[in-house]
A and B are shown apart, each in its own frame.
Chain A
Amino acid sequence: MIIAVDPADREPPYQQIRIQVLAAIAASTLLPSTRLPTIRQLAADLDLATNTVARAYRELEADGAIETRGRKGTFVRESKPVDAGAASTRQLKAVADA
């Protein structure tokens, strides 16, 4: 799965990453237990600061979409996001409509 980040977009980059990952999980493009790239790798590939990607991952973890399993890496959670929040739901709808 390829994600895209547009620096010119009014949505901050971390939010763009978060929305796309949530949309991919909702569409089952990203299946449970799928391993995600490391923060450093994704930041380097997207030419973003590691803090930006780290924030996206933190928010996704708070949404219940992903989990960090120590040194093994970051994985998509087995269960569906339980607390994606109203804002995320709206954003997901926007993604689905687009």
Chain B
Amino acid sequence: MDTDMASVFWFVVPGIVVPALFTILAFWSPNRRQVNRWGKACDVTITPANEEQIRSHLARVRRYRSVASLPFWWLAFIRVVDADFPPALATPAIAFAAYICGGLLAELTGPLTRPDGVRHAALVPRLVRDYRPNWVRTLSLSLFAIAVACVVIRVTVVDDARRLTYSLPLTLALVLTVSVLAKIAARRIVERPQRETDPDLLAADEGLKAAAVSMTVGAELLAAMVAAGVAAAASVPAETGAWAWLLVPWMLVLQWASIGVLALIVRQETWGYRRRYLQQSVAVPA
């Protein structure tokens, strides 16, 4: 255990103090600028009618995910003070997983308004594919196919046993589990009742649903990226020489792409979705 001042500082500040500050800030979030940015990104015009609905929904998700991830951020920095801590647990991935789980919990357990008097509903089906572009699904499947191909190559071609560990099948099993759970969550989010009739409220609800579906699809994509990265690293015979020219750029691309996906999840934005209603007109399907 390293208890010198510098080690303790680099463990306590980024692992405990900064996440705690972000969690406190989450209770005052989103501000007007963030709501407007969300509106622009999700193609929803913020009006006095829908601003409160958007703000309260975004705030609830932000609170849940910040609180859910708070107990795990220290794990990412623990090896600064304790070099013997198991490396498999000393990762920010656990905190990010908790972050996404917290967000999903907020999305799936939101309060429902019971309509008074006459009830309205659109006679238009809501499907998951309305809220996510097809290329995201294609990319996810392609990455998973690459991971499986790498595993096949690893098992059949590469006879170097030094990297044959249980982590690879475990990672792939984890990725499959995340994909299945993400699909179930996306369906549940899409099925969330839509009881508004005001076009502004309907458009806001559509944008919020699209952002929530993007979070689940993003989780699936992140899992596929992890699988593709782990499988590629395990299947190359060596990380030096000619193989490095293939592996290093591939890992860098995956790393930058993961940061992009995480940024989208953090900002509660979407990759685009099919507009089902026209805003600022009568509530008719687009």
Binding site for B on A (CB under 8 A): 1-8, 21, 24, 30, 35-38, 40-42, 44-48, 73
Q: Are B118 and A21 in contact (CB under 8 A)?
A: no
Residues in A neighbouring B119, C-beta threshold 8 A? 4-7, 45-48
CA distance A13 to B117 in the complex (A): 13
Cβ A37 vs Cβ B118 within 8 A: no
Q: A1-B122, A3-B120, A38-B125 are in contact. List 7 more A-B contacts (CB 8 A).
A: A2-B120, A2-B121, A6-B117, A7-B119, A21-B123, A37-B121, A46-B119
A73 touches B285 (CB 8 A): no
- B7 contacts across to A, CB distance below 8 A: none
- The answer to whether A41 touches B123 (Cβ under 8 A) is no
Pick the contact of A47 from B123, B124, B192, B193 — CB < 8 Å?
Answer: B193
- Do residues A6 and B114 form an inter-chain contact, with CB atoms below 8 A? no
A-B contact pairs, 15 of them (CB 8 A): A1-B123, A1-B124, A2-B120, A2-B123, A5-B120, A6-B118, A7-B117, A21-B123, A36-B123, A36-B125, A45-B193, A46-B119, A47-B193, A47-B195, A73-B125
Q: Which residue of B lies closest to A21 (CB)?
A: B123
Shortest C-beta distance, A44 to chain B (Å), equals 4
Q: Is the CB of B125 within 8 A of A35?
A: yes
Known: A4-B118, A6-B117, A6-B118. A44 touches B193 (CB 8 A): yes
Query: Is B258 interfacial (CB 8 A cutoff)?
Result: no
Answer yes or no: B2 CB below 8 A from chain A CBs: no
Chain A residue numbers with a CB within 8 Å of B195 are: 45, 47
- Type the 1/0 row for B269-286, where 1 means its CB is closer than 8 Å to any CB of A: 000000000000001110
Q: Is the CB of B197 within 8 A of A2?
A: yes
**Min distance, Cβ A57 to any Cβ of chain B, angstroms:** 12
The yes or no answer to B48 lying at the interface (CB within 8 A) is no
CB of A65 to closest CB in B, whole Å:
12
How far, in whole Å, are A71 and B194 apart by their CA atoms in the complex? 23
Q: How far is the CA of A21 from the CA of B118 in the complex (A)?
A: 17
Q: Are A8 and B117 in contact (CB under 8 A)?
A: yes
Residue of B nearest to A13 (CB): B119
A45 touches B121 (CB 8 A): yes
Q: Give which listed residue, B121, B125, B192, B194, contacts A3 with CB less than 8 A.
A: B121
The distance from the CB of B189 to the nearest CB of chain A, in whole angstroms, is 12
Whole-angstrom distance between the Cβ of A33 and the nearest chain B Cβ: 13
* Given contacts A6-B118, A47-B114, A37 and B197 within 8 Å (CB-CB): no
Q: How far is the CA of A41 from the CA of B118 in the complex (A)?
A: 17
Taking CB atoms, residues of chain A closer than 8 Å to B285 are 1
